[in-house]
Structure formats: C-alpha cells, structure tokens
Amino acid sequence: MKLTRRDAVAALVGAGVIGGAGAAALARDGFQADSNAANGEGEGTEAIVEALVGTARAVYPSEVENVGGFVETYAATKLARRPDFRAGAADALSDLDAEARITFDARFAALDPVESETVLRRTGAETAEPDSEGTTAEQVRYYFVNEVLYALYGSPTGGELVGIENPQGHPGGTDSYRRRPDR
C-alpha cells in the first residue's frame, strides 16, 4: 500500500503539529516549502529526518511503499514546528549513532533496513516503554520508533492496512463509522 503526501499531512494533523489551515497550506505548497524551512532551522535536523526514515524502513511492514517521502514530509514539518521535540530527538540520536558505530562502524542513517533494525533492537527499544526523558532504550522508543509508528497507524493508509480507514487521531468525518465493511 502506498503512502501519500495526504497521509503525511493527515499524520501531522493527528499529531497536533498543524491545524486545519496549516494542513490546507501544506497540501497546496507541498513538502518542498516546509522542508526548506526545517533545513534552515536548527542544527542536525536533516540527520534526525534521515534517522526517522531509517527507523521507519525498519519498523514499517514490508507492504508499505513510499516510506521515504512520507516520513520526510512528516518529520520535516514536525521538527520545524516542535523545537523541544527536535532537541530531544537530537539527544536520542547521538545514543543511536553510538550504538550504530559500535555494531556497524557507521552512523545510524547510513545503515540499510536490516542493519537499522539490528541497532534498534540492540538499544532495547523494541520492548521499552516510551519515555522522552528515560533511558536510551526508552528515548529511542519515544523519539524514533513510536514517532514513526504514530505517523503511520494514525494516518488513513496506515489504518487501512489494519482495516480502519479513519483511525483514532485522524479527523476522517462521520461517514466511516456507519459504512458497511467491504469484505
């Protein structure tokens, strides 16, 4: 199933990053405008976006397509508008990079999906409780794993993978709850 820009915008609305007007503007102007803004602001933004993309490639199901475009759109806007989140993610990324260097002698964003998954597992993020101020495992779970999982499963396409096109957190209107299932 292919993730679209619409999904990224939906995920941003669901995450409270943008409101209705912001969503309309972003959908119109596209990914370009906002990612430029993000690149200008705050050091390390690009590295965090790359690491979020790397995380998504490892933790998204294999049938999802266009992971890169989706996560980049989502992450660029989120990081531009949430400086606290960006700062926390930058901290967590240094731990993630350290783990990647120990295991594969490269920074996290340079790894392929299988290697990324190995590193994420080694941090303990798979079974950790998310906590923005916790241990490395808890921070990686919060800033990377859960961030991209929230973006996916809170968006219509991610929801549809499971059978719910209007997942919690997505303002999908008041028709879908009445619709008959198509299978």
Partner 1 sequence: MTAAGSGGRTGTPDRTPSPRVDVCVVGAGPAGALVASRLVDRGHEVVVLEAGPRFDRADRRERMERSIRPAHGARSVWNVGGERDAFTASGERFYPLNVARVKGVGGSTLHWQGMVMRLHESDFERQARDGVGADWPIDYADLRPYYSEAERALGVAGDADNPFAPPREEPFPMPAFSPSYSDSLFAEACEEAGIAMHSVPNARNSQPRDDRSECVGYGTCQPVCPSGAKYSADATIEAAESKGVRVLDSVPVQRLEPTDDGERVGAAVYTTPDGEEHRQEARQFVLAAGGVETPRLLLLSKAAEHPDGLANSSGAVGRYFMEHLFAGTGGRADRATRQNHVGFNTSESHQFYDNDFEKVDPIKLEFLNYAGPSPVEMALTADEWGDDLLDSLREAYGTHLAMGGLVGQLPRARNRVALDPTTTDDHGNPVPDIQWSLDDRTRRTLAKANDLQAQVFDHLDAGVEWVVGPENTGPAYHHMGTTRMGEDPDESVVNPRLRTHDVANLTVASSSVFVTSGAMNPTLTIAALALKAADHVDADL
Q: What is the CA radius of gyration of the chain?
A: 16
Looking at residue 110, the DSSP 8-state letter turns out to be: G
Stretch of residues binding partner 1 (CB under 8 A), selected from 31-39, 66-74, 86-94, 161-169: 161-169
**Cβ-Cβ contacts under 8 Å for 106 (sequence gap 6 or more):** 100
Site map (CB under 8 A) of partner 1, residues 120-159, x = contact: ------xx-xxxx---------x--xx--xx-xxx---xx
**Smaller CB separation from partner 1, 55 or 73:** 55
**Smaller CB separation from partner 1, 31 or 60:** 60
**Smaller CB separation from partner 1, 39 or 176:** 176
Q: Are 127 and 66 in contact (CB under 8 A)?
A: no
> Binding to partner 1 by residue 93, rule CB under 8 A?
no
Burial class (CB in 10 A: 0-12, 13-18, 19+), 5: middle
